[in-house]
Chains A and B, each alone.
Chain A
Amino acid sequence: EDKVVQSPLSLVVHEGDTVTLNCSYEVTNFRSLLWYKQEKKAPTFLFMLTSSGIEKKSGRLSSILDKKELFSILNITATQTGDSAVYLCAVLGADGLTFGKGTHLIIQP
């Protein structure tokens, strides 16, 4: 059974701080790892990672995958209150798309 573990489960920081969210996985026939942002609605797609060591970047968000150590990180620099959300990591493998429980990020003004 595929597994995805995210840490921390919750995180409270101040505006302007940089945060790093972690995602580790055990999956059969790994195809890709995806990051989503979920506010009070359905998840919205952020990144898809398939190759190790290649950073994906979008504004203040960036992510990288390590297929040898089976983990990924999502970085958010200069955080803003609008970044407050649950960040979900999901891995596509033999069992389809398996989600972690998410990291609940709260950005305080």
Chain B
Amino acid sequence: EAGVAQSPRYKIIEKRQSVAFWCNPISGHATLYWYQQILGQGPKLLIQFQNNGVVDDSQLPKDRFSAERLKGVDSTLKIQPAKLEDSAVYLCAGGGLLDTQYFGPGTRLTVL
């Protein structure tokens, strides 16, 4: 079984620039999550999809962050414009059986 794929693995941008991350969960996982993990903290949920619909985006800073999962498979997360405090690892996870979540390798974003 292939794991959760994310790209890019690393990204360095300047503040006010835009950036997009891509995630392809494990085949058959209808639920997809995006998390932000700041250094030294646990992951924080940004948005949860069930198929191509949004279940929870209450912690997504909607003035600058957006996410979509148009065909209910892969997903993109965008930040526009980026701020220094957006520097973090962005994790994507797919929902498996019994609420377990399987994480991708993450994208490490550095905003200068």
Chain A interface residues toward B at CB < 8 A: 4, 31-32, 34, 36, 41-45, 48, 88, 90, 92, 95-102
Stretch at the interface among B13-21, B62-70, B73-81, B102-110: B102-110
Provide the main secondary structure of the chain A interface.
strand
Tell me which residues from 22 to 77 in chain B have a Cβ below 8 Å from any Cβ of chain A: 33, 40-45, 48, 56, 58
Q: B43–A43 contact, CB under 8 A?
A: yes
Give bound CA distance, A95 to B46, whole Å. Answer: 11
What residues on A are CB-neighbors of B99 within 8 Å? 31-32, 34, 48, 92
Sort A-B residue pairs by CB-CB distance and give the 8 closest, nearest first: A99-B42, A42-B103, A42-B106, A99-B43, A96-B45, A32-B99, A43-B103, A101-B42
Q: What total of chain B residues lie within 8 Å of the partner, measured CB to CB? A: 20
Q: B44–A45 contact, CB under 8 A?
A: no
Give bound CA distance, A31 to B106, whole Å. Answer: 26
Which single member of A41, A97, A100 contacts B101 (CB below 8 Å)? A97
Which single member of A32, A42, A101 contacts B98 (CB below 8 Å)? A32
B91, CB-defined interface residue at 8 Å: yes
Chain B interface residues toward A at CB < 8 A: 33, 40-45, 48, 56, 58, 91, 98-106
Q: B56–A96 contact, CB under 8 A?
A: yes
Known pairs A88-B42, A101-B42 / 17 extra A-B pairs, C-beta < 8 Å: A34-B99, A36-B103, A42-B104, A42-B105, A42-B106, A43-B103, A45-B101, A90-B42, A92-B99, A96-B33, A96-B48, A98-B45, A99-B42, A99-B44, A100-B42, A101-B40, A101-B41
Which single member of A4, A44, A100, A101 contacts B103 (CB below 8 Å)? A44
What residues on A are CB-neighbors of B98 within 8 Å? 32, 48
Closest Cβ–Cβ distance, residue B8 to chain A (whole Å): 15
Give bound CA distance, A101 to B58, whole Å. Answer: 20
Q: B106–A41 contact, CB under 8 A?
A: yes
Of chain B, the residue at the smallest CB distance from A41 is B105
Give bound CA distance, A42 to B104, whole Å. Answer: 6
